[in-house]
Amino acid sequence: MSRLSQVFLSFKPSRFKNEIKGIIGYWPKDISLYKLALRHSSAYPFRKKKGERNNERLEYLGDAVIDLVVAEALFYRFPTEDEGFLTKLRSKLVSRNNLNRVADELGLPNLLVANLKG
């Protein structure tokens, strides 16, 4: 088990909820969604049953939401630019490097349950 997993699992429910509140700015209504969002598929590699819950489905949805929000913001911010310009800029903004940087700034890696090597 990774150090991050140990830290996550040692959190008392109220401590985890406080950490999330510090990031999002309000008390989460359903903390289980945040726990699921932070449970990487590597966390339990020995549990590969169909329907096993990890963050992959929420990641899929979140990626679509981020793409939509950024696309809309760029659409209105650059009203005279063509779709090629908008697509390239959106691609840069939602790149793995940029999203990882934002996650680091928010402190999300400290809450991630994962068993990543390296």
CATH number of the domain enclosing 79: 1.10.1520.10
Please indicate, yes or no, if residue 118 is contained in any of the structural domains.
no
**How many Å apart are CA 85 and CA 93, to the nearest integer?**
12
Number of domains in the chain: 1
Range of the domain at 18: 3-110
Return the closest-CA partner of residue 93 out of 79, 111, 72, 112: 72
pLDDT more than 70, % of the chain: 81
For 12-33, the pLDDT digits (tens) are: 668 889 999 999 999 999 999 9
Structural domain contains residue 69:
yes
Reduced DSSP (H G I as helix, E B as strand, rest coil) percent helix, strand, coil of the chain, to 5: 65, 0, 35
Residue 16 lies in a domain: yes
Whether 90 is covered by a domain: the verdict is yes
> Quick check: 9 and 112 in contact, CB under 8 A?
no
pLDDT tens column, 89-118 = 999 999 999 999 999 999 999 998 888 775
Q: Look up tokens 């793409």; give the residue.
A: 67
Residues with Cβ within 8 Å of residue 94, at least 6 apart in sequence: 63, 66, 67, 70
Q: Is the pTM above the cut of 0.85?
A: no
DSSP-derived 3-state class of residue 1? coil
